[in-house]
Amino acid sequence: MSNWVEVCATDEIDEEDVIRFDHEGKTFAVYRSPDDRFFATDGLCTHEKIHLADGLVMDDIIECPKHNGRFNYKTGEAKGAPSAST
Amino acid sequence: MSQIVIIGAGECGARAAFGLREKGFAGQVTLVGAEEHLPYERPPLSKDAMLHGHEPKLVSEAACYAEAGIQVLTGLSVESIDPAGKSVRLSNGGNLTYDRLLLTTGARPRPFPGFSGASNRIRTLRTHGDAVSIRTQLQPGKHLAVIGGGFIGLELAATARKLGAQVTLIEGLARILTRGVPEPVATVVAERHQAEGVEILCGVKIQDLAETRDNASILLEDGRTIVADLIVVGIGAVPNVELARDAGLAIDNGIAVDQHLRTSATDIYAAGDCCSFPSAHYGGLRMRLEAWRNAQDQGTLAAANLMGGAETMSAVPWFWSDQYDLTLQIAGIADGAAEIVRRDMAEGAFILFHLTADGRLLAASGIGIGNAIARDIRLAEMMIAAGVHPDRLALAAPGTKLKSLLAA
């Protein structure tokens, strides 16, 4: 189990919310879904280098705080402009 | 229906073209643009692109258009539209016929009265070429004078300071950002600019501009003269309606469209900066927005309706500006608000909620470092769209999650 990295306690993330987690020079976004499961993605939006953890989580979707690019944080799928066409 | 022509290859036109394919349109899509570049993002032009972008940030790469089967004709303008014959005449003498036509002709900078904007020393900022040209003149020791305290002028002022140029910004009204930005937010912006060394002169009237081989100058009515290496005029934009007007389409502060983005002519639609539309959230008030998000939203909506849909424009207006490390965001239109509730957040960030007399949320304006206010402005936008009457005390309390007020 030595490869496990502690991110936070589960109660540090609200349901349907996200926090930022930085580790070894990389930044991540860690999510707690409405059905109480945990997910992690790259911390930065694909459109511009913006921290997704500042964005809004609604259901399974994280919206970039800058331009509302939308991603499904469970699958990584882009759900709308500006992320989809770039 | 087999041919759709889109006139205007900016954010809106590009979004509409891709939107047609995303919704399954199988006919011909032709996007015509007067600029040499593929559609690119204009917001960076006064911000990062001014610092280090040598090529414009494209909305989509060339391969994406090819893959989607979108024909893009760049460097060509449209001379005229024949609504009866359903064709458009191009600047190279060619014609395109259409089953449905979308006008995304955008807007152009309002020139300073008596000046064309074509000079290198007294100019405007709208295109990638403008940004490149301005950047070459912004160096330490150079003096930039900006006319107009709106988003573009202020963003350019911030960028010019980063490049080491001296900056004077002149605003004719009593404060900067009078259009759509509440005073407390504008004050934060003004104070930051002053702390960064920008000289802001408000309430001053300009008598004339002058240009020599070596400099340009602004003569003020109070007798002062401001001498600069470069003057950038940022006093708003005017919609590009000439093509539509000459074709007989109704014009009302832009190409007039209905809630489905249909113009007064059969099978012709308009979207983005060039059109005025009845706003769903503000009692049908006719408005025209010059905004990146609106260009995207209306481009996407136009695509659906060009294909026979009857979707209505329901997005809440949304604007943003980046200056230094500050980001300002506004959702909604605060006109007609009877009350303002302030929510103070960490590190000086705050949001003003603008409510009607009966407590309905009309707009929210916020400012802070980075994306401090972004999530709550997004939630406010959803609350405005939903027509909620949020609890004032909850709005003001930073510990209350706005998400919990969505259903109010």
Q: How far away is chain B from the Cα of A33, in angstroms, using its nearest Cα?
A: 15
pLDDT score recorded for residue B408: 64
Contact between residue B154 and residue B198 where contact means Cβ atoms under 8 Å apart: no
CB–CB contact A85 B403 (8 Å):
no
Average pLDDT over residues B139-162: 96
B371 CB neighbours in chain A (<8 A) are 50-51, 54-55, 65-66
Distances (CA, A) of B405 to A53, B361, B387, B389: 21, 11, 11, 9
Domain ranges of chain A: 10-80
Give B273→chain A minimum CA distance, Å: 18
pLDDT at position B50 is 77
Q: Is the pLDDT of residue B148 over 80?
A: yes
The ipTM, to two decimals, is: 0.85
Q: For residue A82, what pLDDT is reported? A: 63
CA distance B151 to A72: 32
CA B251 vs CA B241, B248, B255, B279: distances in Å = 7, 9, 5, 17
The end-to-end CA distance of chain B, in Å, is 44
How close B136 comes to chain A (CA, Å)? Answer: 25
Average pLDDT value for residue range B55-69: 95
Q: What is the pLDDT of residue A84?
A: 41
pLDDT of residue A80: 73
String of DSSP letters for B245-296: HHTT--BSSSEE--TT-B-SSTTEEE-GGGEEEE-GGGTT-EE----HHHHH
Which is it for the CA torsion B67, B73, B78, B84, positive or negative?
negative
Residue B252 has pLDDT above 50, yes or no: yes
Coil, strand, or helix at residue B228?
Answer: strand
Model confidence at B213: pLDDT above 50: yes
Q: Which of B38, B371, B404, B406 to mutate to test the interface with A (most CBs of A within 10 A)?
A: B371
More confident residue, B237 or A80: B237
Q: How far B49 CA lies from chain A's nearest CA (Å)? A: 13
pLDDT tens per residue across span A54-65: 999 999 999 998
- CB pair distance less than 8 Å for A66 and B371: yes
CATH architecture of A10-80: 3-layer Sandwich (2.102)
**pLDDT value of position A85:** 37
Mark out chain B residues that contact chain A at CB-CB < 8 A.
15, 18, 59-61, 64, 292-293, 296, 300, 320, 370-372, 374-375, 378-379, 401, 403
CA B379 to chain A, closest CA, distance in angstroms equals 8
> Cβ of B300 and A81 within 8 Å?
yes
Of A63, A85, A86, the CB nearest to B378: A63
Kindly list the domain boundaries of chain B, sorted by start residue: 3-49+56-108+238-306, 111-233, 325-405
Residue A82 with chain B: CB contacts under 8 Å: 59, 296
Residues of chain B with pLDDT > 70, as a percent, come to 99
Q: Write out pLDDT tens, residues B351-408.
A: 999 999 999 999 999 999 999 999 999 999 999 999 999 999 999 999 999 999 987 6
Q: Which CATH superfamily is domain B111-233 in?
A: FAD/NAD(P)-binding domain (3.50.50.60)
pLDDT at B49 over 80: no
Query: How would residue A86 be classed by pLDDT, with cut points 50, 70 and 90?
Result: very low
| Second CATH level (architecture) for the domain B3-49+56-108+238-306 | 3-Layer(bba) Sandwich (3.50)
Q: pLDDT tens across B326-358, in order?
A: 999 999 999 889 999 999 999 999 999 999 999
Nearest CA in chain A to B299: A81
Chain A residues at the B interface, defined by Cβ less than 8 Å, are 14, 16, 50-51, 54-56, 63, 65-68, 81-82, 85-86
- Summarised one tens digit per residue, pLDDT across range B90-101 is 999 999 999 999
**Minimal C-alpha gap between A25 and chain B (Å):** 20
Identity at B329, one-letter amino acid code: Q
- Given a cut of 90, is residue B54 above it in pLDDT? no
Nearest to A81 among B15, B64, B372 (CB): B15
Spell B163-174 as b/e; 16+ CB within 10 A means b: bebbbbbbbeee
**pLDDT tens digits for B12-36?**
999 999 999 999 999 999 999 999 9
Q: Do B119 and B35 touch, CB atoms closer than 8 A?
A: no
Say yes or no to pLDDT of B58 above 50: yes
By CA distance, what is B402's nearest residue in A? A56
* Nearest in space to A15 (alpha carbons), one of B403, B374, B375: B403
State chain B's mean pLDDT as an integer. 95
Pairing of strands B318-323, B326-332: antiparallel
Nearest beta carbon to residue A85 from set B64, B293, B401: B64
| Cβ contact, residue pair A55, B375, below 8 Å | yes
- A50: chain B residues, CB-CB within 8 Å: 371
Between A and B, how many CB-CB pairs are < 8 A?
Answer: 40
pLDDT at A69: 86
Take residue B231 and report the two structure tokens written for it.
Answer: 């003057």
Among A50, A51, A85, whose Cβ lies nearest the Cβ of B60?
A: A85
- Which pLDDT tens digit goes with each residue over B185-205? 999 999 999 999 999 999 999
**pLDDT tens digits, A19-55:** 999 999 999 999 999 999 999 999 998 777 889 999 9
pLDDT at A1: 55
Residue B172 token pair: 């004719």
Task: Please identify, in words, the CATH class of the domain defined by B325-405.
Answer: alpha beta
